[in-house]
Amino acid sequence: MRVYEITSPDASELSPYRSLKQPRAQRELFIAESVPVIRLALEAGCEPVSFLMARRHIAGKAAEVLAGRDVPVYTAPDETLETLTGFPLTRGVLCAMRPLPSPPPGEILRASRRVCVLEGLTDASNVGSVFRAAASLGMDGVLLDDRCPSPLSRKALRVSMGAVFQVPWAVCPKEGLPLAEIRASGFTLAALALAPDALPPDAPVLRQRKKLALLLGSEGAGLKKETIAECDFSVCIPMRRGVDSLNVAQAAAIAFWEAGKITLQDASPSVPCRSDE
């Protein structure tokens, strides 16, 4: 590795890290934040371009991901790093990386039995939470329409804890979700929607399907009416006290659990939360 002390936050080589809190268009590089996320990205085959961190982390928490890598490591006092990125580096380490090409939707469908399909989500945190649930609760792949935030956005990556590197995913063409292609691949389409004929997520008719696609819509309006009409079933989680819906990521976790039930022998130990601090 090559360590460079930052003398000016305006240096051109630091452009991937500059003002990360500001919205920006999709770039050729993405930013992985925290050692666990960087580790998963590296294991998935993503190429690191450079690192940014406080000097104390070079021989500390970042040592394992830096070992044997001939890439620039930019470092500075915490105040300079915050000025550059626009936020305190509470997770300590950033890495600019080149993404791997996403597989086409058809390839994911051919290799999957349980997929999640996202339509029009607006919050990158929800996208990250859905990916974390998909990875841990048995989904084989995720398809997103082009209105959803990128799974490689900094917020989605951080919330997913790197799960976007553990579940195959693809962004569908601008024409919309390829529902006909999903059905032609043998999937039953189940829309999570408030519908009078909706089934509970543990309905045997759903669990018995060899291939099942669970569709979830935007945080406000949900799935489009046309999308629901094209599905084979509607699914709604029974709730009390007059509550009619859950956050999309919470609903996804419940639906994924019921659709892809795993035994304790298949599962790995889990804890309520995880931190790399």
Domain boundaries, the chain: 7-98, 105-259
Distance CA 230, CA 62 (A): 48
Tens-place pLDDT, residues 216-251: 999 888 999 999 999 999 999 888 887 877 899 999
User: Rounded to the nearest 5 degrees, what angle is found at the Cα of 182, between the Cα atoms of 179 and 187?
Assistant: 120
Note the pLDDT of residue 48: 97
Segment 55-67 shows an average pLDDT of: 94
Counting DSSP H helices and E strands in the chain, the numbers are 10, 11
140, 156, 172, 207, 271 from 185: Cα distances, Å: 14, 28, 15, 18, 36
Q: Mean pLDDT, the chain, as a whole number? A: 88
Look at the domain 105-259 and name its fold. Alpha/beta knot (3.40.1280)
The average pLDDT across 117-126 equals 96
Amino acid at 95: C
Q: Is the pLDDT of residue 272 over 80?
A: no
CA distance 201 to 197: 13
pLDDT at 19: 75
| Section 45-49 average pLDDT | 96
Confidence grade of residue 187 (pLDDT, cut at 50, 70, 90): very high
- The beta strands (E) that lie in the chain are given as 2-5, 30-33, 47-53, 72-75, 93-98, 114-118, 141-144, 169-171, 188-192, 212-216, 233-235
Mean pLDDT of 113-127: 96
pLDDT for 22 equals 63
Contacts of 175 (CB under 8 A, 6+ apart): none
Question: Cα-flanking dihedrals φ and ψ of residue 173, to 5°?
Answer: -60, 165
**What's the CATH architecture for 7-98?**
2-Layer Sandwich (3.30)
